[in-house]
Chain A
Amino acid sequence: MSRSLLHLALLALALFTMLNTGCAPDSVEEATYLTPPGAEFMSQQAPPRVSRPSFVDSRGPRMDPNEIPGRYPFYWTRAIYSGWGRRGWGQSWATDYPKGDQQFLVVLKRLVRLNAYDWDNAIRLDDPTLRRFPIIYAVEVGGMDMTNPEVEGLRNYLDAGGFLIVDDFWGQREWDVFEYNIRRVYPDHPIVDITLDHPIYSAYYDIDEVKQVPAIGRAMYPAECYGCVPYVKGIYDEAGRLVVIINFNTDLGDAWEWAEDPRYPLEYSTYAYEMGANMIVYAMSH
């Protein structure tokens, strides 16, 4: 029943996006905020305002300064961290941003009864405001190079009860970079496999297989590195609570971003949204 609903939502999103040729740009500098894609599908609350100004500083966009955090129970929040990306220093965090975030929110709100803020939201790891958003999403952590304040900010965030979702990094080299960075946060906490009997796989959808989700251009050849196998790993705190979930050798974000593209296989976008819903529901209740 719920899976059919997911398929229906994805198909509707794809149809809508094809009819509306404009897609949000992939880069921060070009970000223009109009009506969020798929807003018509949102039935759970009043439609958002028609237009929204851009707030950009040297590190990336921010939430509308007129918005007081807390009005909504949930804000899909992206972690801004220091590091190298494909577009140069300091931009690896912004991969698929903001289109992937906005589209993920649209579909997520159709699937889960979630009273969420309609717009993307990106916060630096060393910003105290981060602690107002108990779930954060970090991508392309293979280029991560956190500053000490960011390391401390992330550690405090996780210790206080925050939850980090990591996604979209590939191969041993990128793993090593991420592991080096996360060890600075939690030197002694082991990184363990999250096996399929973990409740996160059944928090909303029942997931019985970890799939390798490819980027848009690699649908036929999912892996971005030779012989890469997808993993879901995690880090627990002292009390045995899962505080970090790591989606390695996979790219859920691209599936969220390109779900409407007819070239993108439905199988992967379905899995990515299922996994996304499960991670959100789990992290909001555990």
Chain B
Amino acid sequence: MERIFEFLFKYPPLFFEQGDFTFGAPMSVRLWLIIAGLLGAATVASYTIARGKSTVTDRGVMAGLRVLLLAVIIVCLLQPSLILSTVVPQQNFVGILIDDSQSMLLADENGELRNSFINEEFASGESELLQQLSDRFALRFFRFSDVAGRVDNPSELAYEGTHTNLSRALDVAREELSGVPLSGLVMITDGADNDNQPLAESLVPLQAAGIPVFTVGLGEESITPDIELGRIEMPRAVLEGSSLTVDVVITQTGFEGGTVPLIVEDELQIIAEETVELGPDGEPVVARIYFELEGVGPRRVSFRIPPQPEERVNRNNARSVQVEVRGEREKVLYFEGEPRFEVKFMRRAVEEDENIQLVVLQRTAESKFLRLDVDDGSELEFGFPTSREEMYRYRALILGSVEASFFTHDQLQMIADFVSERGGGLLLLGGHGAFAEGGWQGTPVEEVMPVVLSSPADDPQGFFAEVEVIPTPAGLTHPAVLLGVEQDQVRERWDSLPSVTTVNPISQVRPGATALLSGSGEQLALEQIVLAFQRYGRGKSIALTIQDSWLWQMHADVPLEDQSHETFWKQMIRWLVDGVPEAVEAVTDREQVEPGENVQLVTNVGDSSYIEVNNATVTARITSPTGTVEELPVSWTVQRDGEYSVEFRPLEQGEYEVEVTAERNGETLGSDKTYLYTAPSDDEYFSASRRTQTLRRIADETGGQFYTPEDVSSLPEDIRVTGAGVTLIEELDLWDMPFLFFLLLMLMGAEWGFRRIRGLI
């Protein structure tokens, strides 16, 4: 298209975009217009007064065509031209930025590598393109991947970069060439940036300096056929023995409608496998896979899809995730307002779980409590905690059938803060003293609840209903309600469990909350919300509105060997404590880096009441894979209360252990451990297709142009007219454009044709 344009209009479109249009005729344009008007009038008059076979319409058409012909001739006589600001040859510089990352070694459909364009046009030193560029400009070459720098000759490129950072490349080139007249930058790349640095920050200075960037896109826009593992949603720390539900995003082209196995490995041992049905080409599917991790400590969990027949890129079929399996006993406080069998059966369900310490405080009479599984005689000595320090020792709180009036207002506020500020998990069980029936409306805790409380029933006997429980669509994929069976059997398993009962009619969840289990029954007018949850502040709250889940263990319809009740409660309590923060928490900005890359360690420090501390002494003890220990002070960031950070650079390959300790006035506030894995990255093989949109954006926003190897030949001439650097004004004639000649011929031909048709010749 561009070639046709250039043939008709003599110059490429870019010239017309860049140049100013003018007329070069010696007389004024106004005089020419008067002459044109007179000639036109004379023409029309001659046709008007002519006599013969022609009708008025015929004469009108012919006069019009003749006037147009005259107009074209007048335009040519006006000597139209383009005024262009063109660079002065050999007085300007052009920076040529060449992608030096691994993705340049990917082959296209014909087996040709992406870097072959670079080798032919730049590394060989003999190409016409390079010659034309060299004739016009002084060339400076840069290589870039995750870093960027000058290179004397493109033949030195090794294509070993494991990341691509376009922003950094533009910044480095602009800064290096800031002292010379620069006509533009040429960026030769596939555009597959995987450092995710905002481009705008690099484009604004280029726009301000008037430096156009000409981008040359290499590679294909779609690699077909190919399967790629995308994002993996997995927590960075889990409790030992917890069932994990991990979402894996899989994208593909060329395998539409097929199935592939997704394999999960822990230290080279397969721990889960799932068959994934692929969707339409280009549309990602989310595969959900379940597994457990045994053994305490840091782990590399690998997800992979075996290479498929004829697949173009295999190295994007696998990803690894660093996860810490924690062996601590998570302390959960279960406060029950009266003797109930829920206590007995919940304790039975989790008694073998070494990672859960279910501390029970059961009110057996007014001001009389039974304490179970406490650490010592002083724990909960005076009943329910009265201070934040006492309560925040627990990672989760379960409230049974206990009326709101039992608590002081401070304690109610403390329960709400336990969730929102401390980030703890709160589970509310059904019962005569729970929800609306327990007078919880209007309390600070009501806000935390994931369900909407209705008014208590007027019936003096109270509401009572049997409930058949079924999972909601959201529940079918939630680990807490899977009951340890495959996903397609979850519904069936719930159907096999006996009905339970409720005394709290609840039929609505709060906006933002999710219902996982619902129930129906003869005594229920509306569908009962059985299990619902929501995030609240830093923590989460869960409502289980039934009062006798123990029937799932004890009922005669449940086989003795059935583990549904045990599994349900284990998963519920593990979910409750999952992700609950510590007072001191350390995390690195990335879980895997390459040796030599900088890592940001961020630590949040709070005291025992989880109030942020800004005057702590925080130390990071970093142990390398070979056992070298380095201690670094971690400083308060000032921007956020309680946030400390430090940057370090791991040089060895393997697993780094980072232990952070926070002290204040000689008193230890807490410590935390996190892990970091250093290894060469395969990022270059993920999302490696050409990013045309990104490259077009860079060109458009800086006044440059986007090219492919097929149309890059006009690049030297295009740079010449960009106007950057040392320039001179050049006037380009347009009167001899072939388009005008063709137009004249067309108009003359049209009049002749018209006469023939009308029989006027």
Contact = CB atoms under 8 A, between A and B. Distances in A.
Contact of A281 (B370, B501, B560): B370
Interface in A189-219: 203-204
B31 interface: no
B547 A73 contact: yes
B231 interface: no
Contact of A283 (B344, B401, B558): B344
A2 B464 CA distance: 33
Interface string A1-40: 0100100000000000000000000000000000000000
Contacts of B432: 73, 115
B466 interface: yes
A114 B336 CA distance: 12
Interface stretch (A125-133, A140-148, A254-262): A125-133
Contacts of A284: 339-341, 343-344
Chain B interface: which size bin?
35 or more
A112 B344 CA distance: 17
**A interface secondary structure, majority:** loop
B548 interface: yes
A68 interface: yes
A23 to B, nearest CB: 28
Interface of B: 337-341, 343-345, 347-348, 351, 360, 362-366, 368, 370, 372, 401, 431-432, 460-461, 464, 466, 500-501, 503, 547-548, 550-551, 553-558, 560
Interface centre among A5, A46, A115, A160 (most CB of B within 10 A): A160
Given A68-B464, A161-B550, A74 B339 contact: yes
Interface in A152-180: 156, 159-162
Nearest to A44: B338
Contacts of B345: 134, 161
Contact of B554 (A161, A281, A286): A161
Contacts of A46: 460-461
B365 A2 contact: yes
B565 to A, nearest CB: 9
A132 B554 CA distance: 7
A76 B370 CA distance: 21
A132 B498 CA distance: 11
Nearest to B346: A285
Contact of A134 (B370, B466, B503, B554): B554
Contact of B370 (A5, A156, A203, A239): A203
A133 B503 CA distance: 18
Nearest to A284: B339
A159 B554 contact: no
B554 A285 contact: no
A220 B759 CA distance: 148
Given A113-B338, A204-B370, A285-B347, A71 B555 contact: no
Given A2-B365, A132-B555, A114 B338 contact: yes
A241 interface: yes
Contact of B347 (A2, A68, A113, A286): A286
Interface in A247-286: 280-281, 283-286
Contacts of B554: 131-132, 134, 160-162
Given A281-B370, A283-B344, A73 B339 contact: yes
B341 A73 contact: yes
Given A131-B555, A159-B560, 20 more contacts: A2-B368, A46-B460, A70-B501, A73-B547, A74-B340, A113-B338, A114-B338, A115-B401, A128-B556, A128-B557, A134-B345, A134-B550, A160-B553, A204-B365, A241-B348, A281-B364, A284-B341, A284-B343, A285-B347, A286-B372
A239 B337 CA distance: 27
A93 to B, nearest CB: 20
A111 interface: yes
Nearest to A74: B339
Interface centre among A70, A111, A280 (most CB of B within 10 A): A70
Interface centre among B341, B360, B503 (most CB of A within 10 A): B341
Interface centre among B339, B431, B551 (most CB of A within 10 A): B339
Contacts of B340: 73-74, 284
Contacts of B339: 73-74, 112-114, 280-281, 284-285
B364 A70 contact: no
Chain A interface: which size bin?
20 to 34
B437 to A, nearest CB: 12
B466 A285 contact: no
Contacts of B362: 285
Contacts of B464: 68, 70-71
30 contacts: A46-B460, A68-B501, A70-B551, A71-B461, A73-B338, A73-B547, A74-B340, A111-B365, A112-B339, A112-B364, A112-B365, A113-B363, A113-B365, A113-B366, A115-B338, A128-B556, A131-B554, A134-B344, A134-B345, A134-B550, A156-B560, A160-B554, A160-B558, A161-B348, A161-B550, A284-B339, A284-B341, A284-B343, A285-B339, A285-B362
Nearest to A110: B365
A4 to B, nearest CB: 12
Given A284-B339, A285-B370, A204 B547 contact: no
Given A2-B365, A73-B547, A285 B560 contact: no
Contacts of B556: 128-131, 156
A239 to B, nearest CB: 8
Contacts of B553: 160-161
A16 to B, nearest CB: 21
Nearest to B557: A128
A5 B365 CA distance: 11
A285 B372 contact: yes
Nearest to B349: A161
Nearest to A127: B556
Contacts of A132: 551, 554-555
B341 A134 contact: yes
A49 to B, nearest CB: 9
Interface string A66-78: 0010110110000
Contacts of A280: 339
Nearest to A129: B556
B556 to A, nearest CB: 4
Nearest to B501: A70
Interface string A41-76: 000001000000000000000000000101101100
Contact of A285 (B337, B343, B368, B548): B343
Contacts of A5: 365
